[in-house]
Amino acid sequence: MIYISHLLPDEQMRQIIQETGFGIESIDFSISDNLDCLEKSIEVYRKKLESFGTEHLTLHGPFLDVNPCAYDSLVRKATLTRFDQCYQAGLALGAKKIVFHSGMNPYVYYKEGWAEHVTAFWSEFLQDHQELEIVLENVFDDDWRLLLDVYQRVNRPNFKLCLDIGHAHCYSSLHVLEWTEHLAPYVTHVHVHDNSGDRDAHTGLGKGNLPWKEVLTLLPETEERTWTIECMREEDVWACAERMKEWQEA
């Protein structure tokens, strides 16, 4: 199943969904203002889904000002609260998965001890959140081994990994193909976009220098694997859709 991130205006989203049958990855429940009036936000988004003509939904969790690696107890508490609110929205709207950022920033955190600390957070959160699949996404992460370490330590059936191929290409010192090769068995969600390795441009596949054909070949279709096209311009969404169609038909 392919989704598109709800980064485009509603009318563009509606047109693409109706032409392709793609689902939506909503960012609405990553925004604190929407979480502050959760019931209203859920109803608003339920009506949007009806107008778009799709029930296929994933959510992108909160990531601004919250962090599952937080050492400050108050920040950690806020993170648990915001993540729970997003999770409740996912249950109410019938979402299949929720994407959460890993929170790793190599300029802030040491590698040593990071995985253990993050594992403690997710182990606590997942005790009471077992219905929906949670996928942990790389952003500024430099080393895929840390994500794999967290995955193996948490060891829950509804806890998997999300590989953002664009982030791995521009933020990591390790090649994106290395990321893909080693994490593919544990990745059930993929964020798809391109860049030239210098910044997180979120352009369409083929517009940067990410080796997208080789990457997607290492991430074949499986029963549980899904993809989200994560671009901010309509033309880039269509570029990804066309490249992915070529890949699927090859």
- Tell me the average pLDDT across 148-169: 98
Cα angle 174, 2, 7; round to 5: 80
Given this model, what pLDDT does residue 248 score? 77
Cβ neighbours for 53, distance < 8 A, ≥ 6 positions apart: 14, 17, 18
Residue 250's pLDDT band (cuts 50, 70, 90): low
pLDDT per residue as tens digits for the range 23-34: 999 999 999 999
Q: Is the pLDDT of residue 169 over 70?
A: yes
User: Does the reported pTM lie above 0.85?
Assistant: yes
Q: Are 95 and 132 in contact (CB under 8 A)?
A: yes
Cα–Cα dist 171/128, whole Å? 33
Cβ contacts of residue 217 below 8 Å, gap of 6+?
247
With pLDDT > 70 as the criterion, what percentage of the chain qualifies?
100
Over its C-alpha atoms, the chain yields an Rg (Å, rounded) of 17
Average pLDDT over residues 146-152: 98
